[in-house]
Structure 1
Amino acid sequence: MDNYPLVVADLDGTLLTDEKKVSKENLIAINKYREKGGMFTIATGRSQKTVLPLLRILNIDMPMILLNGGELFDPKKGVIYSNYVDETIFEQVIDLFIDSDFGIMTFYKDKIFIPDFKPAHELYLEKQRDVKLEQLEEIKKFNKVNKILLVGNVKKARDMLLSLEQKIKKDINFVQTDDVYMDVLPNNISKGEGLKNLCEFLKIPLKKVVAVGDQMNDLSMIKIAGYGVAMGNAKQEVKKWAKYTTKDNNNNGIAHLLYEIMEKYSPI
């Protein structure tokens, strides 16, 4: 029988409901999986600030993947590693979007900066409640960032970034993380790379890992995990690569997956 001692789950659209809650059913299933010897952690595009309140609910005391693979964070020991967007690319992206209708947000560890407040930022605050955005009018002066988040029309953002790549003759690492989010990340950073680093840190083979998510930024880890899983509400491209599709995030998809693993496989 195959065994999967580690489950790594995305947060938004996966472990969390559309109301940004962790269901009682999911919590019970996570605890049962742990009781059988399994480990459970998260891989998210969120930063420390927006994750910490959930850690107390989820009782996660092991390393997790933050900022779409840009940071490996241990709630007991702090940051294990952190990566930053190339400064030239950072400046070019800010220049491109600063006068647009996109909401620009830059992330540095547990801080989130904006150059000015635009209606698009409301879309973020509706999804991420109780988050403080710090305004920096000269945002380019703080150019050491873990990621840039562009809030707005993701198709338009993609087209603009592709045109910028051609102009500056450099690859830009960007990925859609929500219907209205486009992340610009450090070079060679993804949740897949984050999962490789997490497994190396924990000394667990990738083939022994379950990775589950719903969005395009989850695809890299779903592809390389031993058992890649899509949520019922996942993008079709994600479902295409997954070995299994569980229920959606509003119907305890994580609980359904964990019981499936405990019944058919073994955590240890």
Structure 2
Amino acid sequence: MIKLIAIDLDGTLLTSDKTISQRNKEAIKQAKEQGMKIVLCTGRPIMGIRTFLEELDLVSEHDHCITFNGGLVQVTETEEILAQKAHTKADVEHIYDVCFSVGLPINAIDLEKVYEPIYPSHNRSLYPDIINNLVFERRNIDSFDADHMFNKVVSCCPQDVLDSKIAVLPETFKNDYTLLKSRPILLEILPKDVDKGYGLKCLCELLNIKAEEVLACGDEENDLAMLTYAGYGVAMGNATQDVKNAAKYITDTNDADGVAKAIELYVLHKGE
């Protein structure tokens, strides 16, 4: 029996215009009424999903979210941290050096802000153009205290540029960190072994919920680990082919209430 529903945001729960459809809201509401735990699982920090949590009434002391692509598990009401794996300042300085050497711009993100180094860069970061509800600051990484922690680093630039630069990143670098694309133009660099599957596993262990009792919905490469961890891994109709190949089930697209249709079929058992 399904006890927890983990849902990605962009390209999954959110439509192309970044809203939640009425049918998705109603399906989530009905699942909650049947005792299901609803968990938003995203690459964004909690401050970037607060409006969606409130819209879905997922802001009580019993509600949780998984942010930074699995690097942080929090109570949504208080933002209490239940599990965290983050970069050190030294990590971020190393990441910057390697990315700069191949021409990739970076932004480092902590619990408060998104930081863009003031160093010259071969390509301007597009991250401020695609992300809302976050505070950006131009600040060099070396100005932080040695013990400062960063939750992730991103590189955002045109897809052809990004893909060509990823191809020439050193293999040792790729082995030292988790590199995931959450959008065609967005590379996320996380601490080693961190992904949405890791964050979901941490939360399930805290809640004593088994993997086979989880339904997860996603569409992009950064959702793969979550979908393969869950007993019910559901790919969106608009998902990448790799995600569809890895998922156990495929639902409709994010613009056609795909999340609601999956919940209705596998949780609410409508239309059987």
TM-score (norm 1): 0.88
Q: Which residue of 2 aligns with 1:134?
A: 137
The count of aligned residue pairs is 258
> Does the 8 A contact of 1:9 with 1:15 survive in 2?
yes
Task: Provide, for residues 155-208 of structure 1, a one-character-per-residue CA deviation record: whole Å limited to 9, x for no partner.
Answer: 1342243x2x44x79522211111111111012111111111010111111110
Superposed counterparts of 1:241-252, under 5 Å: 241-252=246-257
Q: Which residue of 1 aligns with 2:29?
A: 31
Deviation (angstroms), 1:154: 3.2
Which of the residues 30, 38, 41 maps onto 1:40? Answer: 38
Superposed counterparts of 1:223-242, under 5 Å: 223-242=228-247
Task: Provide, for residues 88-131 of structure 1, a one-character-per-residue CA deviation record: whole Å limited to 9, x for no partner.
Answer: 4422220133476644111111321111498744x433432343
Deviation (angstroms), 1:140: 3.4
Pair 1:68-2:69 in alignment: yes
Q: Which amino acid aligns with 1:150?
A: S
Q: Which amino acid aligns with 1:46?
A: R
Which of the residues 34, 52, 55 maps onto 2:53? Answer: 55
Q: Which residue of 2 aligns with 1:219?
A: 224
Q: Which amino acid aligns with 1:233?
A: N
Deviation (angstroms), 1:76: 2.3
Question: Any stretches of 5+ residues in structure 1 without a counterpart?
Answer: none
Instruction: Give the secondary-structure state (helix, strand or coil) at the position aligned to 1:13.
Output: helix
Q: Which residue of 2 aligns with 1:154?
A: 162
Pair 1:18-2:16 in alignment: yes
Fraction of identical pairs, as percent: 31
Q: Which residue of 2 aligns with 1:182?
A: 187
Cα distance in structure 2, aligned partners of 1:63 and 1:96: 35
> Does the 8 A contact of 1:94 with 1:140 survive in 2?
no
Question: Any stretches of 5+ residues in structure 2 without a counterpart?
Answer: none
Q: Which amino acid aligns with 2:164?
A: K
TM-score (norm 2): 0.87
Q: Which residue of 2 aligns with 1:9?
A: 7
Q: Which residue of 2 aligns with 1:107?
A: 109
Instruction: Give the secondary-structure state (helix, strand or coil) at the position aligned to 1:177.
Output: strand
> Does the 8 A contact of 1:86 with 1:186 survive in 2?
no
Given the superposition, is the C-alpha separation of residues 169 and 200 from structure 1 closer, same or farther in structure 2, using an over 3 Å criterion?
Answer: closer
Given the superposition, is the C-alpha separation of residues 241 and 170 from structure 1 closer, same or farther in structure 2, using an over 3 Å criterion?
Answer: closer
Task: Provide, for residues 49-105 of structure 1, a one-character-per-residue CA deviation record: whole Å limited to 9, x for no partner.
Answer: 211122111211311110011100112232222221255442222013347664411
> Does the 8 A contact of 1:176 with 1:215 survive in 2?
yes
Given the superposition, is the C-alpha separation of residues 120 and 196 from structure 1 closer, same or farther in structure 2, using an over 3 Å criterion?
Answer: same
What's the C-alpha RMSD, in Å, of the aligned pairs? 2.2
Given the superposition, is the C-alpha separation of residues 170 and 196 from structure 1 closer, same or farther in structure 2, using an over 3 Å criterion?
Answer: closer
Pair 1:95-2:97 in alignment: yes
Cα distance in structure 1, aligned partners of 2:210 and 2:153: 31
Cα distance in structure 1, aligned partners of 2:253 and 2:8: 13
- The higher-RCO structure (CA 8 Å, 6+ apart) is 1
